[in-house]
Structure 1
């Protein structure tokens, strides 16, 4: 999954609009929209701001966006289980 798709999913799980997140992250709504569509890659600074707005650690966003084959230390089943658990925690 790409980082923009993860941001969008987390934003929706938090029941937040693009306008709310963009205002809290101090980025334009149109820029956030492009990120969520994976048409732009956020800078590290913007990623940190967006993560703060979503109240999710950057490391969690990066983990969720990581390709499963790049996480060789754990099995696909473990990754899937962790991902589901993380999304459940975000939604709560």
Structure 2
């Protein structure tokens, strides 16, 4: 799952809109929209702000949750 999809999914699970997330994080709503649409890759400080605002870990946002590792 892409970073943008993770941001949108988490935001929707929390029941907040882009404007509210923007207010919580101090990140412009237009930038959040672009992130959710995978138009930009955020910097580390932006990822940290998003994780805090979305009440999740930075690992969740940037980790490759679709990757499956095989033993051996």
Using structure 1 for the length normalisation, give the TM-score: 0.69
Pick the structure with more helix per residue. Answer: 1
RMSD: 1.7
Match of 1:6 in 2: 6
Q: Runs of 5+ in structure 1 lacking a partner?
A: 75-92
Q: Deviations over 1:29-56 (max 9, x none)?
A: 0000000000111111001101101111
Aligned pairs, number: 71
Matches of 1:68 and 1:15, distance apart in 2: 24
Match of 1:78 in 2: none
Q: Which runs of 4+ in 1 moved over 4 A?
A: none
- Confirm or deny that 1:51 pairs with 2:62: no
Using structure 2 for the length normalisation, give the TM-score: 0.86
Q: Runs of 5+ in structure 2 lacking a partner?
A: none
